A and B are shown apart, each in its own frame.
Chain A
């Protein structure tokens, strides 16, 4: 399919975003546009699990690259010395002076970095990538040397978002122009690429000369606002995308079709609200931009303004087709509020923390060479080795058994999971206390390294209100509107707590569960009412928690200390405190008094 052909194909698209054909066309276009202007557009977030569809798309993307343009895979858990660069150990030892080694980013200069499982990318790695995208150079200040290399890359982030709560870190996603979704496609739905390599090359040449009229700038910014896309980076990216589409379509100037395509691909997938259609917007539109003194475009007349408005409306209508599915159902203004991927670190990382001496070993798996100790270990033998050496010009003779790596110690963080009984009449009161305690814990510097999470159970099941976080801002937002009332599915709450505790453990922190309840369950595990079964289920869930060997504090919130709650505490080997009128401060103090688990 030629570039022009695909533009024509747009007219025939139906309004259904889930249409697999559309999804493929969008994905193919995103690939083609990124191939034309990788640095300008930043890259693509591709929602797709590993599989033949993704492979096919990747192969098509690869076919569009210029000869020699690199495309490298980056594991989400890459170490800094490989990502940014570091000391080249072999060369350093061989030459007897420090030799820097480029990292993966510098090696990929001019090409594409492929990030599988990007939803698990640690926030720190995402921030490093973001900095490189912004500055177009990569530098490191590590291991006693410092280096900078030019580095223009585009990032293709595969979001394999499963059921666990993780999304591509927003700091990275914000800088990537496109978001495409291949998750619902089968191989049958895959079409051709949007362009062939020759067209890409030609478009690349045309791109710098493409002009963009002021109306389109205005219209693209207008649409972004109407779709609730607040980040200005999105608007800047949409402008660049419009130019790139024009270049690919062979236009000298951005035309309406080009702008439309850009709005569809860049802005629509970021939409957070449904745009009001057509007429009313024309009336309450903000006053026309006062053109600044520097662009010499003064005095825009009403007629032209109306035209611009009409253009914007047409573009809005066209983007409506590709708004994210489920936007209607979602609460207005809620973006995917998910925790940045933290899951997956199986052990406390040896790369961080305070150095506490060194031990013999090879600098692998994130362990860092302690050069000084290595040299110290080698020093006494130099005379002997020099005499025995085959190549005498080497100034230092270091053998493998001299190598020392630094030992680092990291205090493992704690994650306090609040499990709140949100059922019944006193729920609102309890929730307010829990909210206060969560905030206090976050604000308190003593628990600086700690994370906090909130699970509430009411009605027929449990809900994670706040995935483990350190952010006060997020905590406040998630807790602001917390519903209460209904039955008490205690078993479901305990199970949810157990699952999250396991997740927290996998991320390297120690979970502490704080359970606020009166212990009177009346909804069974399967969601059916009935006190007897509900209580049996709750006790079973409690025993399971005990099996996980977790630190649990049960805060009995009933007016008088309740036998049910005490029994529950015994079953899960929890500490028990009756705090019928527990204030936020008392609660927070009780949590802090918990013995820290032996690590």
Chain B
């Protein structure tokens, strides 16, 4: 477990990698859902991301790891700390927190600190996984097997960016803004529509069927397992390049221009697909902007829009049960109509 397979060494699966990078640049995208075949490196990619992200600045004494620059935070701890002047800051790794199946509600939202309650009789709050994931990523493998009451809870917190705990005589609220990353296999069951909607991007991964690609996947996996240090060494430069790309894109993001022409195309696309609500357009634009920033460009072009259309919209189509066409293909169809005009 000491070694994590490097992100840059993942063969193919470009859409998945792109979606993850976009989420790393623009956390407001609202999460990434990776659905698809077994053994395609879904969780490998997410875990690799953790090793890739540059560290972030946090308020040193805040146990939720708040951003020192964040003015509008609901964090009670920061409020106290900031009242006494500028709080100390430190660098911390971006959290990528696993939400394992079988987790109980009290550990997810946080609960009464048992140890202190038992030994000292003190009523104290012990933060849960949501607090730990603040400003980072919350990863749920086999997300479609997650128990319903946990899903309800996640939907609520992911929407509000705040975790409100009212239990066991505790009344606590703390900020919990995280990028939700889910992966799963559609064979195991469908995802609740409300949860599906919380994911900004949805990608489908398929097992590659070209022999050359397959051999390469197997070979890299094999050499990673045999000589992990050497393997990591070999890919460290490539990982570093991606890391720099993320850092650069984050700086560039706010200055990326989104022209009216592109906006109109985005609207046409959503109308053409009949997506519900405005979230589709919003995601489309945020993703296109993040992609432009990743490419080091300061204006969103039609090609950026085209590249993010599938992951941004495929899970927002109104379901037509009699239409068996793959959702991605439907997006493509409308894409070609809109851009042919």
Interface residues of A (CB under 8 A from B): 40, 80, 83-84, 92, 96-98, 123-124, 127-128, 130-131, 134-137, 139-146, 150, 170-171, 174, 208, 212, 214, 217-218, 220-222, 224-225, 230-236, 239, 285-290, 292, 294-295, 340, 352-355, 368, 371-372, 375, 395-396, 435-436, 438-440, 442-443, 445, 448-449, 469-474, 476, 480, 584
Residue of A at shortest CB range from B108? A141
* CB–CB A472/B186 < 8 A: yes
Give the distance to chain B from A489, nearest Cβ to Cβ, in Å.
28
Docked Cα-Cα span, A170 to B187, in Å, equals 9
Please pick, from B102, B104, B114, the residue contacting A124 in the complex, using a CB distance under 8 A.
B102
Interface residues of B (CB under 8 A from A): 1, 37-40, 43, 98-108, 111-115, 117-119, 126, 128-129, 141-142, 145, 147-149, 168-169, 185-190, 192-194, 207-212, 214-219, 221-223, 225-226, 234, 319, 321-322, 324
A141-B107, A231-B39, A471-B188 known; A84-B102 Cβ under 8 A: yes
Instruction: List the 7 closest pairs (A to B, CB-CB), nearest first.
Output: A439-B321, A233-B39, A141-B107, A289-B212, A141-B103, A470-B189, A80-B102
* CB–CB B168/A372 < 8 A: yes
A144-B107, A221-B214 known; A295-B219 Cβ under 8 A: yes
Give the distance to chain A from B118, nearest Cβ to Cβ, in Å.
5
Docked Cα-Cα span, A556 to B212, in Å, equals 56
* CB–CB A221/B215 < 8 A: yes
Residue of B at shortest CB range from A451? B189
A128-B100, A217-B218 known; A439-B322 Cβ under 8 A: yes
Give the distance to chain B from A252, nearest Cβ to Cβ, in Å.
15
Docked Cα-Cα span, A436 to B212, in Å, equals 40
Q: Which residues of chain A are near B190, meaning CB under 8 Å?
A: 442, 470-472
Give the distance to chain A from B107, nearest Cβ to Cβ, in Å.
4
Docked Cα-Cα span, A80 to B168, in Å, equals 23
Give the distance to chain A from B156, nearest Cβ to Cβ, in Å.
14
A140-B102, A171-B38, A395-B119 known; A232-B218 Cβ under 8 A: yes
Please pick, from B147, B189, B324, the residue contacting A476 in the complex, using a CB distance under 8 A.
B324
Enumerate 10 A-B pairs (CB-CB under 8 Å) in ascending A order: A83-B102, A124-B102, A124-B145, A131-B101, A139-B100, A140-B103, A144-B112, A170-B187, A235-B218, A289-B212
* CB–CB B1/A294 < 8 A: no
Give the distance to chain B from A121, nearest Cβ to Cβ, in Å.
13
Give the distance to chain B from A128, nearest Cβ to Cβ, in Å.
5
Give the distance to chain A from B217, nearest Cβ to Cβ, in Å.
5
Docked Cα-Cα span, A445 to B105, in Å, equals 23
* CB–CB A150/B107 < 8 A: no
* CB–CB B216/A142 < 8 A: no
Q: Which residues of chain B are near A233, meaning CB under 8 Å?
A: 38-39
* CB–CB B219/A174 < 8 A: no
* CB–CB A170/B1 < 8 A: no
Give the distance to chain A from B61, nearest Cβ to Cβ, in Å.
22
Please pick, from A97, A142, A212, A222, the residue contacting B222 in the complex, using a CB distance under 8 A.
A212
* CB–CB A375/B117 < 8 A: yes
Residue of B at shortest CB range from A438? B321
Please pick, from B100, B189, B221, B234, the residue contacting A294 in the complex, using a CB distance under 8 A.
B234
Please pick, from B112, B211, B319, the residue contacting A286 in the complex, using a CB distance under 8 A.
B211
